[in-house]
Structure 1
C-alpha cells in the first residue's frame, strides 16, 4: 500500500510522529518545573523535526526505526529545553539518573503507541483495498439511476418504485460442492 507514503497521508503521519517527539519531552520538562521557550533555536529544531518526520513517512516504519527516532530526539530536546528554559540556577547538560530513566521509559512507551498506530493505519489501508470494498466503492461511484418513466394503470399515473443497489458477495462461499438433488 503505497498510498500512505504519499500526499496528505504522508504529511499527516509525519506530523503525528513529530508531535509525539516534540510534545512528550516538552510536557515532561514543564511538569518537572522547567519553562517552555519559543526561542528561534527551539523553533528551528521543531521545524527540522517536522520536516524529517514527514520525509521518513514515505513507507511503513518498523518498531526499531520508530524507537531510533524517539531515542535520538529525546536528548536533543532535553539539552535544548534545559539551556533555553531561563533557569535561575546554573544548569548542567548532563541529566540525572532519574531523568535518564524517565526519558528511556517515555521513549519506550511512545514507541509502543506509535508502532501500534502505524500497524493500525497500514492494516486499515490494506483492508480498504480488498476486493469487496473495492466493489462497494465502484458501486457507490456509479451515477444515480435514472427514474423510469411514469406508468399509467387504470387511467391514473403511478410513479415508478425507487430502485436501489443490492450488495452481494463478490467471492463465493468456500466449502464442499453442493450435491445434486436425488429424485
Structure 2
C-alpha cells in the first residue's frame, strides 16, 4: 500500500510536469531503438561471418583441388617426357626432332623466324593429320598468325590437303568452345 502511494505521488508530480514525462518516454524509446539497432547489427555481422566462413571453406576446397590437379599435370608431363624417346615421326624428321623440346620445355620454347611455328610448318608440309593434330594440341595458339599474316589453317588451305584442313578446323573449334581434346 505504501508503494502504491509512493508511485501515485510520483505520477501526480509527473503529471504536473509534462516535460519530465516526455523526457523519460523519449529516453526509453531511444534506448529501445539503440537496443534494436544493436540486435540488427549483431544479426548482420553473424550472417556476414557465416558467409565469410562459407567462402573460406570453398577457397580451401578449390585450393585442394588445384593442388591435386597440379600434381596430376606434373605426373602426366613426366610420363610424356619419358615417352619422347619412343616416339617416331617417320614422315617428318623436323617434327620428330622438335617434339622432344616441345614436350620437355613447352611450345613457346622453340623459336622460329618471323612468327612461323612448328604448327605452321606442319600445316604446310606434313601429310599425316595425326601429327598435325598432336602439334595442334601442344600449340599455345592454333590461330596465331606469322609475320606475313598467315595462320596454320591458311597454310593448310593453300596446300589443299583436306584431312589436315579438317584437323586444324576441329582444333580451332575446340579452342573457341574452350573444350579439352578428346583422346
Q: Normalised by the size of structure 1, how large is the TM-score?
A: 0.28
Q: Normalised by the size of structure 2, how large is the TM-score?
A: 0.28
- Structure index of larger Rg: 2
* Greater helix fraction, Structure 1 or Structure 2: 2
